[in-house]
Structure 1
Amino acid sequence: MQEPIIRNKVKLARIEKGNLTQAELAKKAGITRQTLHLIEAEKYNPSLKVCLLLSKYLEKPLDELFWLEEH
């Protein structure tokens, strides 16, 4: 059985938030722009703290931004 994959809508929420740039959001969340890029591309699983910060700054519920997808 394969492990679930963490999916997200961070990029969509960032754009909906007034076209916030990756650099602007990354700075607020205390991460690099490159890390945010990897999160949006679903190539990096952020810590719970980063998920909560992104949820806060994007003004979206955590479960609307991140979810598990079963195979």
Structure 2
Amino acid sequence: MVKLSVHNHIRKLRFDRDEMTQQQLAEKVGVTRQTIVAIEKGNYSPSLELAFRIALVFGSPLEEVFYIELPEA
């Protein structure tokens, strides 16, 4: 089975939204700032529920916030 690499545009979206801090985003979605840091760095893949909550904060579809890179065949 191929391991998928999940990436995101959270950092860019935060800055596009009046330079929202990681702490502000964390408070809006109900997690710690450290969780947001780990997600942004790609060290942690959020649950589906958390991914949707993050997308809702930005008013963006899920696929505009998170994306995968498929390995080359």
Task: Tell me the TM-score normalised to structure 1 length.
Answer: 0.93
Write the distance in 2 (CA, Å) between the matches of 1:17 and 1:49: 22
Q: CA deviation at 1:60?
A: 1.3
* Cα RMSD, aligned residues only: 1.0
Q: Equivalent residue for 1:67?
A: 67
Q: Equivalent residue for 1:15?
A: 15
Largest Rg, 1 or 2: 2
Q: Which residues of structure 1 form unaligned runs of 5+?
A: none
Task: Tell me the TM-score normalised to structure 2 length.
Answer: 0.91
Q: CA deviation at 1:2?
A: 3.8
Partner secondary structure for residue 67 of structure 2 = strand
Q: Which runs of 4+ in 1 moved over 3 A?
A: none
Q: CA deviation at 1:54?
A: 0.5
Write the distance in 2 (CA, Å) between the matches of 1:4 and 1:48: 15
Q: Which residues of structure 2 form unaligned runs of 5+?
A: none
